[in-house]
A = this chain, B = another copy of it.
């Protein structure tokens, strides 16, 4: 059968200046700019195959083995419609190009980490979907151009189309034309950045982000001051910290902005809580690590969930992982090369936080800053020659 396909992986990104609040809920236009670190796809990624064929009768999507309805998701159809439109323009300019824009799509996507656990799975998922369809359609648009489309699927997805250190500039236009992701610096500029994800719970989050952020915009008396005054200053300071590879400034801004994001959640009516007692113990752990080490060597940040992400650089890996080993030696996630690492704490570390961290964390993911989405060879794709997910074979 006549079948076209393309497969890509896309990364997770964890923001250090947080996106929280939409000025346009349909177009996913934010109330403030944001900035994130793209994480390595070796450890966390969405893998997506997009295929099309004149024999397909409807757009279909399989997500982690389960078929989801495409037609009822306005976010999905917005992305697909935009990409089809770009393909149709390309076909108009190049009459010999196959008429892919007229074919239905079969899309299959798999994450290698739990969905909706506050790990930005929708960001990686929508970035992979947009990248895979754009590759299938052989679109000439840049990652920045495509970020306009991915943004409509999930706001923070726009930042997952690029590796390294990525900003999402909020823009001003009503149609969202200038609300785009930009690479602040590639992975190669500051490859020493490491990230440890401390998974508190893989349960689904209590308040979905979209509902939460709109409640904050509507009811928090502190929110506008954050969006209008605080974040613009922090965006400039964070870009400077990244350009100068100034970890102390990076860490200070990262921790402050995570706390402020959760502060405006708490200032929402009714209040939104993503941090729990374990999250707070992890904050104390990182603070105590910095204090006892005598310098800022680690920064915590929390998205819309209780999981803790700790950023640090490779030069302090032994200290940071040594301290984590002191309370998390028995959980999953340590790599072979960490076996030799001794559990140890800096002198003077107040060990009172260790028990709460130890009891509340269920899994560790050790990763680092990563690169752009990666094209995958067709034989490693998720859709077979029959146009259906390979994982469904035999069912």
Q: Hey, which bits of chain A sit against chain B, CB under 8 A?
A: 221-222, 225-226, 229-230, 252, 255-256, 259-260, 262-264, 266-271, 273, 276-277, 280, 283, 287
Contact yes or no, B266 A262, CB < 8 A:
yes
Secondary structure dominating the interface of A: helix
How far is it, in angstroms, between the C-alpha of A255 and the C-alpha of B259 when the chains are bound? 20
Quick one: which of B256, B266, B276 contacts A221, CB cutoff 8 A? B256
A281 to chain B, nearest CB (A): 10
Contact yes or no, B271 A267, CB < 8 A:
no
A223 to chain B, nearest CB (A): 9
Contact yes or no, A283 B263, CB < 8 A:
no
Neighbouring B residues of A262 by C-beta, 8 Å: 266
Quick one: which of B221, B264, B283 contacts A271, CB cutoff 8 A? B283
How far is it, in angstroms, between the C-alpha of A276 and the C-alpha of B277 when the chains are bound? 6
Quick one: which of B222, B230, B256, B287 contacts A263, CB cutoff 8 A? B222
18 residue pairs of the A-B complex, CB under 8 angstroms, read A221-B260, A222-B222, A222-B260, A222-B263, A225-B225, A255-B269, A255-B270, A256-B269, A259-B269, A260-B266, A262-B266, A263-B264, A263-B266, A263-B267, A270-B287, A271-B283, A273-B280, A276-B280
Copies in the complex: 2
Could you say which of A255, A271, A277 has the most chain B C-beta atoms within 10 Å of its C-beta? A271
Nearest chain B residue, comparing its CB with the CB of A226: B222
Nearest chain B residue, comparing its CB with the CB of A272: B259
Could you say which of A226, A260, A280 has the most chain B C-beta atoms within 10 Å of its C-beta? A260
A284 to chain B, nearest CB (A): 8
Nearest chain B residue, comparing its CB with the CB of A286: B270
Nearest chain B residue, comparing its CB with the CB of A288: B270
A195 to chain B, nearest CB (A): 20
Give the 8 A-B CB pairs with smallest separation, nearest first. A263-B267, A263-B263, A225-B225, A263-B266, A221-B230, A277-B277, A222-B222, A259-B271
A253 to chain B, nearest CB (A): 10
Neighbouring B residues of A255 by C-beta, 8 Å: 269-270
A375 to chain B, nearest CB (A): 42
How far is it, in angstroms, between the C-alpha of A229 and the C-alpha of B229 when the chains are bound? 14
Quick one: which of B222, B252, B259, B266 contacts A225, CB cutoff 8 A? B222
